[in-house]
Structure 1
């Protein structure tokens, strides 16, 4: 749900959303590239005998010249695949109704206490104007999805949401998959005015809830891990789909305790946003 002002500027997710300019066609040799980095905190030292409560911070940067030879193409979907070894306990936590969250335009009262599982921001550009969107992340119904709600009031008023299914995988390299289908309202501010997702960052987890297991009450974290020693790297894969550019994928790493740096070809979209 968006509320338009006379002037339009930018929008988008992350964990995200979108690329561009007034329907300009992609120039010859146009490209869109993506990079990911992030951290699991705190790093886990020693040999814990029970799962430990951790937070996951993920940052993405998108560069390219598909739109008007300047901006990345419009993002239509992002799929994040995470390695085995962590436990996500969304089923234990209160969940938020996406219909109610949309109807109340992201107001905190839309969701029960304890259902907010993270927050972050995203930078999007349209017609050469860049806006910073605030991101709130909520536990979806039954812990089977994550709700990313985006809001900004300057230079445009935007209220929109990504309902991202969260799936446990069996076999293969990865253990979990988060799929973010970018809604039309985050791909285009109005007909023909497409937007470019430039950068996003979100932190999820860190909170705990009391649950009863085997006759006793214990605390469970939203994300738990048994091992992540300082300096170790954890694999993560991102697959991005665009309106006017070929899909792009990146195999990247999360650092235990500290995020690996981005390469010089992926600068921060806005000074100070790293």
Structure 2
């Protein structure tokens, strides 16, 4: 019989906490957009917003650990590993992959901020963390429900179903994020229809890899728990897979209105300079 939440207490608690916290930061974001309060924001205000939505993912479980985590060193707590994995994956995404959006998808943004890192506002690194925590907290139980429905065995139905579920969740996540960003005027999208349909397909590459890879953290009850070093290496390895696939897209498909020989700022026509 399949089940949704992890059998490992530390992971089960963290997954439920992340899911319960998600509506909180989403409500904060929605109110800021609906009231257009963001029009009053500059460097400090945007940076505080990034901290407000992301830090509770770390501070709450640190201050109020669940019973399963009490007495455990931080390195053994699932929420620590989850945050490390997503922070590293999100950092690579913002620092490198954002430039694919700039060039290939002709989607840019011009926030009234000067606090930037590789042409990306620093506050977005923190906002991305909140987004990714919610995405992965929501999709991991869905994958687990499907995987455990077949017990510990393997079958072509289980494998095919996993592929379909991952691709469906990845595209839905990418499309919904692209669509909701339409309400923020700081984002400039040259061709919105193409961005929603084709751009979402490009963006879903992130999640086709990250959803199943992230779900593997401390997933099997009878196996040793992941170390922090393994967590970091797995996150960076997953990011490298996405990096390769994004660049294959650049070489084979190209941009929405340009040839496949497009050059990304940190890439030459044939690879990294």
TM over 0.5: no
User: Which structure has more helix as a fraction of its residues?
Assistant: 2
Q: Quick check: which one's strand share is greater?
A: 1
TM-score, normalized by length of structure 2? 0.25
User: With CA pairs under 8 Å and 6+ residues apart, which has the higher RCO, 1 or 2?
Assistant: 1
User: TM-score, with normalisation over the residues of structure 1?
Assistant: 0.25
